Amino acid sequence: MIYVGDVMNNNTSELNRLEKARKIIRDIIKEKGREYLYDLTGIAGGFIIHKTDLELLETYVGPAIFSEKLNEVGVLHFGGAPSIHKAVGFNRTSAAIFSTIMALSNDITNVIHYVPKKPSHPSIPRSCKIFNLYYFESDNVDEILNRINEKTLTIITGATMDHKIVELENLKKIINSCNEKNSIVFIDDASGARLRLLYNQPPALKINADLAVTSTDKLMDGPRAGLLCGKKDLVDKIYNEGLKFGLEAQAPILAAMVNALKSFKLDNLKEALKRTENIDLSPLINAGFECEKTPTGFIIKNLSEEEYINVALKMLENYGIITITAAGMPGASKTLRIDFCSKDAKRLTDDYIINAIINSRI
């Protein structure tokens, strides 16, 4: 378990790292231009907005229009049914998770979390800690199944921060057990909502999850935001709690979420998948890096946290390559990950990327 107090000691160095990265990004934009930056995070996101949208983006008018549209396209994205499901926008996926745990905290005692590979995204144990809920995480299905009852909330991570995907059989087993025991089950499908589709898995609500959340900037061109979808009464309860603490997505973000969801195409991900299959990582291996392919890119596995950050900051400064390691939020995974999903990835050769990694370690 991670305690809020423990994590806070690490605050300053994380914020320093983030500010250093942001300064390098600013300098490159000022001195050379945006085209000399290459966002290979896979979560570059985007902000697609139409001129007609812009007139409607006020505090009270905006949400009235875009919350309805987001409901329509959001339910569709998760394979839900408009008669029983509802979709709403949160400022981030972490905020949706926090709201969910807050809203359910009076009804449950334990949160049980199945991750395809440990550890969990820190927002889940942190939220549990705040509401005094016992938190248990495991990558072993049986350990999860044993613990499900009416007083538990079961969370399943669809794909980890390093893009390891849940197996469909395990996913179904846990959901079915929750359904049988009348216990709420929630899929944290931040990137999984799209990555799982790439491997022919069904969307979350098609296989009877009560709730699911996804990040509209992950593996699609939307803004950084959390799309929460599920059974209407649950979503209402969670959204209403979130509103009280300012966790909901605001009108401009809602509008961009709608546009990105409408224009999402699985074909872009399929191209990234193909590029990953074809890339030759042997130069990296020869230079002493341990590599592993992910669905839409690869990760470097054998550096220390300090080395990861040094390499990532040099890659940013000297090659313009943005990674989560360098520019991610405090608490995000430090493992160096390269993702081919972004528009920027198409402007770079495999050689450029591989050389950038090798030369940044020296």
Structure tokens, 162: 């390093």
How far is Cα 283 from Cα 271, in angstroms, rounded to an integer?
A: 23
Of residues 110-129, those binding its own copies (CB under 8 A): 122-123, 126-127
Of residues 5-24, those binding its own copies (CB under 8 A): 5, 7-8, 11-12, 14-15, 21-23
Asked if residue 319 binds its own copies (CB under 8 A), the reply is no
Asked if residue 71 binds its own copies (CB under 8 A), the reply is no
In 47-116, where does DSSP find H-type helix? 51-54, 61-77, 93-104
Of residues 146-175, those binding its own copies (CB under 8 A): none
Of residues 77-106, those binding its own copies (CB under 8 A): 90-96, 98, 102-103, 106
Structure tokens, 280: 């030759």
Q: Please pick, from the candidates 112, 155, 211, 327, the single residue that binds its own copies as defined by CB under 8 A.
A: 327
On the question of a cis peptide bond just before residue 202, with omega within 30 degrees of 0, the verdict is no
**Judged by CB, which is closer to its own copies: 62, or 80?**
62
Closest distance of CB 249 from its own copies, Å: 8
**Judged by CB, which is closer to its own copies: 3, or 167?**
3
E strands, the chain, where?
38-39, 85-90, 110-114, 134-138, 152-157, 184-188, 211-215, 226-231, 291-294, 297-300, 321-322, 336-339
Structure tokens, 74: 């959001």
How many residues contact its own copies, by CB under 8 A? 81
How far is Cα 53 from Cα 97, in angstroms, rounded to an integer?
A: 28
**Judged by CB, which is closer to its own copies: 68, or 290?**
68
Asked if residue 241 binds its own copies (CB under 8 A), the reply is yes
**Judged by CB, which is closer to its own copies: 96, or 148?**
96
